[in-house]
């Protein structure tokens, strides 16, 4: 039995997959890898997991009892090299800033943004 994991992804249910995909494509350089009616799978050229946006209510989503909208208690965290530079770009582009850059005592510098579907994208820089 081959128990190796070849890749992995994160799948999120949202009302408008194109809006969330567009936010990550425009501001963070993700690229569509696959898409069809009701879903878009993104990959970043630097690697990492695929991020898949599924339209809420797809009948193929299983198990049906958890088919609701993603978001409550969820942070999609992206580690960046220069948080302040990224923040300046996002703020100038009109992104919805939830938490401007701040630094935790243990050295995590972060900022948070809300995408068009209400998902929170958190940028982190370790200082």
pLDDT single digits (tens) 21-34: 999 999 999 999 99
Q: Hey, what domains does the chain have and what are their CATH numbers?
A: 9-57+69-126 (3.10.180.10)
CA distance 32 to 76: 17
Q: How many other CB atoms are there within 10 angstroms of residue 114's CB atom?
A: 16
Residue 36: partners with Cβ closer than 8 Å, 6 or more residues away: none
User: Residue 1 pLDDT more than 70?
Assistant: no
Tokens 């942070």 map to which residue? 75
Q: What is the pLDDT of residues 68-93, one digit of tens each?
A: 888 888 999 999 999 999 999 999 99
Predicted structure pTM score: 0.90
In order, the DSSP letters of the chain are --------EEEEEES-HHHHHHHHHHHH--EEEEEETTEEEEE-TT---EEEEEETT-TT-SSGGG-S-S-TT-EEEEE-S-HHHHHHHHHHTT-EEEEEEEE-TTSEEEEEEE-TTSPEEEEEEE-
Task: Please say whether the beta carbons of 16 and 117 come within 8 A.
Answer: yes
Q: Are strands 120-126 and 75-79 parallel, antiparallel or unpaired?
A: parallel
């Amino acid at each position: 039995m081959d128990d190796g994991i070849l890749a992995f992804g994160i799948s999120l249910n949202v009302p408008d997959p194109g809006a969330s995909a567009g936010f990550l494509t425009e501001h963070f350089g993700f690229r569509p890898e696959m898409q069809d009616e009701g879903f878009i799978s993104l990959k970043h050229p630097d690697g990492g997991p695929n991020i898949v946006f599924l339209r809420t209510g797809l009948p193929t989503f299983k198990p049906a009892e958890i088919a609701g909208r993603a978001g409550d208690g969820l942070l999609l965290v992206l580690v960046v090299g220069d948080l302040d530079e990224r923040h300046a770009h996002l703020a100038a582009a009109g992104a919805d800033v939830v938490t401007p850059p701040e630094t935790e005592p243990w050295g995590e510098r972060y900022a948070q943004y809300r995408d068009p579907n209400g998902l929170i994208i958190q940028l982190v820089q370790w200082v």
